[in-house]
Structure 1
């Protein structure tokens, strides 16, 4: 079975959301967190979570991205139990079995997003339209045959230790451009 896992490429989720999911948690879309919420009154961080946050089932923290991953039956069962605990204790499910049923349903929805190759990264945009919550998903994946480094923001290269160190004085560059130099 395939399920989404939270993915943290940089620390931005820890600044953008009220609570960031831990990297590698099993995830659900998490729209149930916003069902009875007036979205116009959300704080900026909660608004960011509403717009683009997947929810880690263990922490109930948010993640901008998830990655399609293989899950064993025992990992799926553990994810159900983690989410059921939150649904029962924090969201008032009448009993643990009702909470498990709701958790299974949330994980089934998330699994339906994973009809993609393992390793595919998925992002979400959530919006409120005509009184209901709408989710749109997009997948990001490397093109077959493309260079492994294609699309990376940074590439680390080994340098010769004897070479002179390069330094850039950014403030000086700004002053030079302002003075026409």
Structure 2
């Protein structure tokens, strides 16, 4: 399988197509749809409706988006928990902002896939509540950089694991396994 489109390549393609989101937001939205259990081609309709006013996505961006979708599905089903958020590799503040935007768009995609999301209880309900709180994250650029970097890494890992838990909860990962 080809490598995942890079953050910067996706940003350039999104900007060229005049789509008002960045690579992190796109990745978060598609991940939310996949983790929410949508396994058919309706993900593309949701993407076009929400990100491109119902218009088709064309050219290189279309190829990149479809590749991104396939890779997200593959990483979420991988038993080695290889899934990672696609965020900038720039300074810490940009990474934090990207993570918050990623989570926001993940929740949007997840909510579209699971319309009763607010009614979910238990561990998944608590994790989704936590994700909503993460979208409210704030920092001061005068904060201790080491402490902020440590907190960011901890939150990033929590988000990553929560995404995998949502995927496990809302999809039938083992439906294709035949037991003899």
TM-score range, shorter chain: under 0.3
Larger RCO (alpha carbons 8 Å, 6+ apart): 2
Q: TM-score, normalised by structure 2?
A: 0.25
If you compute each CA radius of gyration, which structure gives the higher value, 1 or 2?
Answer: 1
Bigger share in strand:
1
Q: Which has the higher helix share?
A: 2
TM-score after normalising by structure 1: 0.25
